[in-house]
Amino acid sequence: MAVTKGVILVGGPSKGTRMRPLSLDCPKPLLPVAGKPMVWHPLSALAKVPELTEVIIIGFYEDAVMSGFIKDAKREYPNLAISYLREYRPLGTAGGLYHFRDSILRAPVPQNIFICNIDVCCSFPLAEMMDVHSKHRGVGTILGVNVKRETATQYGCIVHDPETSQVLHYVEKPESWISNMVNGGVYLFDKSLFDEIKVAMDDKTARAAEDPLIQSDEILRLEQDVIVPLAASRKMYVYQTNDFWRQMKTAASAVTASSLYLSRFLKNRPDLLAKPSSSIIAPSYVDPTATIDPSAKIGPNVAIGPNVTIGAGVRVKDAIIFEGSTLEQHACVVHSIVGANCQIGPWARVDGEPEPEKDTKGQISVTVLASEVTLAPETHVRSCIVLPNKSLSRSSANQVLL
Amino acid sequence: MKALILVGGFGTRLRPLTLSWPKPLVDFCNKAMILHQIEALVKAGVKDIVLAVNYRPEVMVSVLKKTEEEFGIKITFSVETEPLGTAGPLALARDILGKDDSPFFVLNSDVTCTYPFEAFRDFHLSHKCEGSIMVTKVAEPSAYGVVVTKPGSTAIDRFVEKPVEFVGNRINAGIYMFNPSVLDRIELRPTSIEKEIFPQIAADGQLHSYDLAGFWMDVGQPKDYITGTCLFLSHLTSQHSPLLSDPSKNKWVYGGNVLVDPTAEIDPTAVIGPNVVIGQGVKIGPGVRLQRCVILSNAVVRDHAWIANSIVGWNSNVGRWVRVENITVLGDDVTIKDELYVNGASVLPHKSISSSITEPRIVM
């Protein structure tokens, strides 16, 4: 089998603002989802691909931000070369890839390159994508996902030939409905991708020279600037997954993604999950350094981080509790995220609604407490976003608390 | 001595509780509302009680039958075929109220207070006029009818309905005493005693006001029922009533004003109070937190639930980690599933709630 490499695009601090307030304290790629940093999920999927020699993470976070994760990842996957490459100037997703082409293509020279966006949560059916990819003569294979008609235009829409899986047409976030199949944010490209990016770059420069309305900048986006022309020249194919898939752009979506990954762990990584007991309902993740009172009830779909303390009679369901937080006796946390080092008083309640499929502007579903938030005993915070270091002594609903 | 209690209609303001029980039989601090009144009347020497009602529920007849026997009194239902207002029922019950020369009490069934009927009777007899009105002081009189007395006297000068300017803060407490001669002023037709009869008697210099000491509340709707409960419990505390749970003997009592029926079972890890009434056969689970609420008989509140400012109806079941607040009223036999939030809901009897009610509404 040919050498394969993986690239994970993690963006940077100026991106992912919709992940606020969580991303104010914790860089998005490192946000814990199902007990693991977001970036771990694509990485662990890539690690299972046979002949995959190297994973390169590209973003514009400082090296120090990612170094801890890279160290841990190397320990977990000793046979894999893992590195973080930092972009210093915004080049766009395709521009960034091209900028680091020498690093990606260095020996062992890969025949194929997986590219994963950080903000998708899915089963990463990489073996299936490889299977499709190896049977066509195109440049790339996209992971295609069927979504509801009313949400399709939020994504890159794909029209394909169901017989051949060839992509016939691709439009990023169209104004009107085109198809229910959308871009899942995971790609497998032949190494000739870099030639195609070069063509797209030259093309853009040429157009900018002719048309003063087109801005001449260095930014080149993978979807609009590369995949669109590749689709038009019939060089793209699609592998359609019927497995779970969600976009992870908002803090609320982390709860959904966490529960999807936890359910998946039931099948493929039960070793990562907390053992079901009188107080733990599967699937749940409990960090070994967390303390859980035996009278508490945790789960399903709960991820509890390091050094968390869960008091007597506490209830946690459909929630993520970040490291160092304390939930005092009889507190109840449902459909919520509790940031790092929060203090939830006795009988306090933190709850929200499940994340809706389509966002309604101004409506908060999941409650998100950022780090170091203190909630007084018996207070109730419902469908709120609470910024860091707030001390709440009164109940609140449906608002952002600055 | 005689008394007439103005019970009236279906008690729609206290629904959903009154869908299951007639309003006078709804428990207030673990005793049917009307029994508080009847007991106080009996203490003041009343032997004949007329209940002015629009309808006569069988359950009320049978309950009051027992009361008659217990206290050796006569209770008569006076059924209006059409609404007669607040004065008409007196004319309808003329045969009983006017059967001798002794004065009679009239009270609105929604009113709770200390019912000082003996002192009120003595006051009435002392001024030798036709009528007496109990008055209570309120902070904001502009929403009520204010009673204005003649300077230096208990004789009533006039009534000012919803005063714009401050004329006084004594309002009609809905409890009266009359000589039978007042019946000559009332015809058998819909009449308001406050608007049509009192001004006449006052004009004749025959109406006096009696200052009610202590608390007073019209408990005809859930919000006021809860407030009235708190006032009643505070009164019990001020009286050092043995009915209240003693915090020194029950470590689950928090802040006092907690009234628990002896047949209720309370887990020692619950924290209850202040201002909580727990009825017969109620079960309170571990880690439950209750404050300013009423749990009616045979209801179950399960582990770690949190209830405030609400009424839990008879036989209802509040699930684990449920939060109930903001004048929620659960009717008879309502079930709230685990972990839900119930905010200001009025839930009709026999409903099972399986998703949170985040904004106040009625659940049919």
- B203 shares its domain with B304: no
Predicted pLDDT at B234: 95
Asked if residue B240 is part of any domain, the answer here is no
What does the pLDDT look like over B13-23, one tens digit per residue?
888 998 888 88
Q: Are residues A297 and A242 in the same domain?
A: no
Q: What is the pLDDT of residues B71-125, one digit of tens each?
A: 999 999 888 888 888 888 888 888 888 889 999 999 998 999 999 999 999 999 9
B339 closest CB neighbour out of A313, A334, A380: A334
CA–CA min distance A389, chain B (Å) = 26
Closest CA to A239 of A151, A148, A160, A178: A160
Report how many domains make up chain B.
2
Using a 10 angstrom Cβ sphere, with 0-12 exposed, 13-18 middle and 19 or more buried, the burial of residue B30 is middle
Residue B352: give its domain's CATH number.
2.160.10.10
Q: What is the pLDDT of residue A16?
A: 62
Q: Which residue numbers of A have CB closer than 8 Å to B's CBs?
A: 312-313, 315, 317, 329-330, 332, 334, 347, 349, 351, 378, 380, 382-383, 397
- Look at residue B117 and tell me if it is in a domain: yes
Among B43, B74, B99, B162, the one annotated catalytic: B162
A25 and A150 together in one domain: yes
Residue B232 counted as domain residue = no
* Residues A182 and A290 both lie in one domain: no
Claim to verify: residue B191 and residue B276 sit in the same structural domain: no
CA distance A289 to A305: 8
Question: Does a structural domain hold residue B244?
Answer: no
Percent of chain A clearing pLDDT 90 (strictly above)? 74
In a domain, A318, yes or no: yes
- Look at residues B172, B203, B218 and tell me which one is the last residue of a structural domain: B218
Q: Please determine, for residue B39, whether its predicted confidence score (pLDDT) is greater than 90.
A: yes
Q: Are residues B201 and B283 in the same domain?
A: no
Same domain, B91 and B196: yes
Give the span between the Cα atoms of A159 and B194, in whole angstroms: 79
Domain shared by B47 and B188, yes or no: yes
Query: What CATH number did the domain enclosing B36 receive?
Result: 3.90.550.10
Which residues does A255 contact at the CB level (< 8 Å), separation at least 6? A301, A318, A319, A320, A335, A336, A337, A354, A355, A366
Interface test with A, best of B321, B328, B336, B356 (most A CBs within 10 A): B321
Percent share of chain B, pLDDT over 70: 100
Instruction: Please tell me whether residues A334 and A393 are part of one structural domain.
Output: yes
Instruction: Give domain status of residue B110, yes or no.
Output: yes
Contact A313 B356 (CB under 8 A): no
Instruction: Note whether A181 and A32 are same-domain residues.
Output: yes
Mean pLDDT score across all residues of chain A: 91
Domain residues for the domain of B199 are 2-218
- Inter-chain touch A330–B320, beta carbons under 8 Å: no
Q: What's the whole-number average pLDDT of chain B? A: 92
- How large is the ipTM? 0.72
Among residues A213, A247, A281, the one where a domain terminates is A247
Question: What is the residue range of A87's domain?
Answer: 4-247
Q: Rounded to whole angstroms, how far apart are CA atoms B335 and B320?
A: 11
**Whether residue B64 sits in one domain with residue B131:** yes
Q: How confident is the model at residue B160 (pLDDT cuts 50, 70, 90)?
A: confident
Would you call B337 a catalytic residue per the annotation? no
Q: Are residues A175 and A292 in the same domain?
A: no
Q: Which of A295, A297, A301, A347 has the highest number of chain B CBs within 10 A, making it the mutation to test binding with B?
A: A347
The fraction of chain A above a pLDDT of 70, given in percent, is: 97
Domain tally for chain A? 2
Q: What pairs with residue B284 in β-bridges?
A: B266, B301
Q: Check whether B11 has a pLDDT greater than 80.
A: no
d(CA B132, CA B177): 5
**Domain co-membership, B281 together with B169:** no
Residues B265-286: tens digit of each pLDDT = 999 999 998 999 999 999 999 9
Chain B contact set for A312 (CB, 8 A):
287
Domain membership of residue A261 (yes or no) is no
In a domain, B241, yes or no: no
Please indicate, yes or no, whether residues A302 and A187 belong to a single structural domain of this protein.
no
DSSP B236-260: HHHTT-TTBPPTTT-TTB-SS-EEE
For A292-325, give one letter per residue: b (16+ CB within 10 A) or e.
Answer: bbebbbbbbbbbbbeebbbbbbbbbbbbbbbbbb
What distance in Å separates residue A149's CA from the closest CA in chain B? 27
| Residue that terminates a domain, selected from B165, B192, B218 | B218
Residues B200 and B282 in one domain: no
pLDDT digits (tens, 9 = 90+) for A228-279: 999 999 999 999 999 999 998 888 899 999 999 999 999 999 999 999 999 9
Judge whether B312 and B284 are in contact, CB under 8 Å.
no
In a domain, A297, yes or no: yes
Residues A289 and A374 in one domain: yes
B100 and B187 fall within a common domain: yes
Q: How many CB pairs under 8 A join A and B?
A: 40
Residue A110: inside a domain, yes or no?
yes
Determine, yes or no, domain membership for A94: yes
Neighboring chain B residues of A351 at a CB cutoff of 8 Å: 341, 356
- In this structure, the answer to whether residues A240 and A296 fall within a common structural domain is no
| Mean pLDDT of all residues in A3-13 | 91
More confident residue, B248 or A84: A84
Do B288 and B195 sit in the same domain of this protein?
no
**Same domain assignment for residues A242 and A287:** no
Please state, in angstroms and as integers, the Cα–Cα distance from residue A124 to each residue in A114, A186, A253, A355, following that order: 11, 8, 18, 22
Q: Are residues B292 and B170 in the same domain?
A: no
CATH of the domain at A163: 3.90.550.10
Same domain, residue pair A185 and A282: no
Which of B197, B218, B239 represents a domain boundary (last residue)? B218
Give tens-digit pLDDT for A15-60.
667 777 877 778 889 999 999 999 999 999 999 999 899 999 999 8
Q: Specify if A252 maps to a domain.
A: no
Note whether B18 and B94 are same-domain residues.
yes
Residue A2 backbone phi and psi in degrees, to 5: -75, 155
Structure tokens of B173? 């407490």
What is the pLDDT, as a whole number, of residue A216?
61
Mean pLDDT of A283-305: 96
Q: Do A394 and A338 belong to one domain?
A: yes
Q: Say whether A349 and B341 touch across the interface (CB within 8 A).
A: yes
